[in-house]
């Protein structure tokens, strides 16, 4: 398994290189540049700025330079956040995003899987319909609605009660400040996971091997947990890979609503500002996470289904 693991990590290098290359040139193809403003800068100042950041060099040379710096762990300076390097920006924001994202992921799995399993086992009952209606609602109501709504409830209506919660700010990661953003972030994922779990478990419960397990006279609880559950988790794991990347890299909407200093906003602002180095930085981060999570998902498959082997 370790050989497989290291080989997969080794293969990740060319994959990352392709991502970096495509992102680098795509970014440069986009019209405009980091120093364009509504009121254009005088040409001499523009030329000086470009020279300072190396943008006056031929594109291929910039690319080679960027790769060279990257190999030394240098992501370059941000073009927009003056006096900050990309490493510093990500270094400050990522811990916030990853902590919120991990908490939301944990919550989504902890609530979503039991909810979906319950709905599957009580298929077509009132509880099933209720759970799935709530799940559907969770999926269709966007988080820019849920966020302010939560803020309204816990910040205004319940202000005088023990349930009052801070609605904005990170406050050095104080627990009460994290609750609302984590819930808001987790809700749609709870809903998706519940629906996937339900559908998958219902399908698994109809398989021949579950029928065999029942014919053995095993208690139903054991039939579900021992014979059905593992196979039923395969689609959930498939979904969890990309979902985790999404959660860990922060959400611009939620970080904006709750005033959190995460990296979610860099994805959007970086692109809008043509902050070339920052966009490259977050792209590399996201791509690395995708590669890593795909590897974890594949390892999980092998655990869930012995037919899958590390080749």
Partner 1 sequence: MTSVLEIENLSVSFTTPDGDVEAVTDVSLSVGAGECLGLVGESGSGKSQTFMAAMGLLAENGTASGHIRLDGIDLLSADEKKLNTVRGDRIAMIFQDPMTSLTPHMKVGRQLAEVIIEHQGVDKETGRRRALDMLDRVHIPEAERRLDMYPHELSGGLRQRVMIAMALMCEPEVIIADEPTTALDVTVQAQILDLLMEVKVNLGAAIVLITHDLGVIAGLADRVAVMYAGRIVEQGSVADTFASPVHPYTQGLLACTPRLDVETEALETISGQPPNLQSLPTGCSFHPRCPHVFERCQAERPLLERTPSGQSKACFFNAAEAAE
Chain residues that interact with partner 1, rule: CB under 8 A: 207-220, 222, 226-227, 230-231, 304-307
Complex with partner 1: residue 46 or 299, whichever CB lies closer: 299
Complex with partner 1: residue 198 or 227, whichever CB lies closer: 227
Whole-angstrom Cα distance, residue 119 to residue 87?
45
Complex with partner 1: residue 32 or 219, whichever CB lies closer: 219
Complex with partner 1: residue 220 or 296, whichever CB lies closer: 220
Minimal distance in Å, beta carbon 234 to partner 1? 10
Q: Which residues fall within 8 angstroms of residue 6, CB to CB, at 6 or more apart?
A: none
Complex with partner 1: residue 117 or 285, whichever CB lies closer: 117
Whole-angstrom Cα distance, residue 294 to residue 311?
16
Complex with partner 1: residue 82 or 221, whichever CB lies closer: 221
Minimal distance in Å, beta carbon 1 to partner 1? 17
Q: Which residues fall within 8 angstroms of residue 69, CB to CB, at 6 or more apart?
A: 75, 76
- 277 and 77 in contact (C-beta within 8 Å)? yes
Whole-angstrom Cα distance, residue 276 to residue 143?
29
Minimal distance in Å, beta carbon 127 to partner 1? 16
Minimal distance in Å, beta carbon 7 to partner 1? 24
Minimal distance in Å, beta carbon 228 to partner 1? 9
Minimal distance in Å, beta carbon 302 to partner 1? 11
- 205 and 120 in contact (C-beta within 8 Å)? yes
Minimal distance in Å, beta carbon 119 to partner 1? 15
Burial annotation 23-40 (CB, 10 A radius, 16+ → b, else e): bbeebeeeeebbbeeeee
CA distances (Å), 229 to each of 191, 198, 234, in order? Answer: 19, 11, 9
Complex with partner 1: residue 196 or 213, whichever CB lies closer: 213
- 241 and 293 in contact (C-beta within 8 Å)? yes
Pull the structure tokens for residue 152.
């309204």
For residue 149, the SS3 value is: helix
């Amino acid at each position: 398994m370790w050989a497989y693991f290291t080989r997969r990590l080794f293969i990740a290098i060319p994959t990352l290189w392709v991502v970096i290359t495509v992102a680098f040139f795509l970014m440069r193809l986009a019209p405009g540049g980091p120093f364009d403003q509504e009121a254009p800068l005088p040409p001499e100042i523009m030329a000086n700025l470009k020279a300072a950041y190396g943008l006056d060099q031929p594109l291929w040379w910039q690319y080679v330079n960027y790769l060279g710096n990257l190999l030394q762990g240098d992501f370059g300076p941000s073009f927009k956040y003056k006096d900050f390097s990309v490493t510093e920006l990500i270094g400050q924001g990522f811990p916030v995003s990853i902590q919120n994202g991990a908490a939301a992921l944990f919550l989504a799995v902890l609530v979503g899987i039991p909810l979906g399993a319950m709905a599957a086992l009580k298929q077509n009952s009132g509880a099933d319909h209720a759970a799935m209606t709530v799940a559907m609602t969770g999926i269709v109501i966007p988080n820019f609605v849920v966020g302010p709504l939560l803020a309204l409830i816990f910040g205004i209506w319940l202000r005088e009660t023990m349930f009052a919660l801070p609605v904005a700010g990170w406050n050095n990661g104080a627990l009460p400040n994290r609750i609302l953003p984590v819930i808001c972030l987790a809700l749609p994922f709870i809903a998706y996971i519940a629906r996937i779990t339900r559908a998958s478990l219902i399908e698994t419960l109809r398989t021949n091997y579950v029928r065999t397990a029942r014919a053995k006279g095993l208690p139903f609880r054991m039939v579900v947990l021992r014979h059905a559950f593992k196979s039923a988790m395969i689609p959930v794991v498939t979904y969890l890979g990309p979902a985790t990347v999404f959660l860990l890299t922060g959400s611009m909407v939620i970080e904006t609503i709750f005033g959190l200093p995460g990296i979610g906003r860099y994805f959007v602002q970086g692109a809008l500002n043509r902050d070339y180095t920052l966009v490259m930085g977050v792209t590399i981060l996201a791509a690395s996470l995708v590669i890593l999570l795909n590897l974890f998902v594949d390892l999980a498959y092998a655990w869930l289904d012995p037919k899958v082997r590390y080749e």
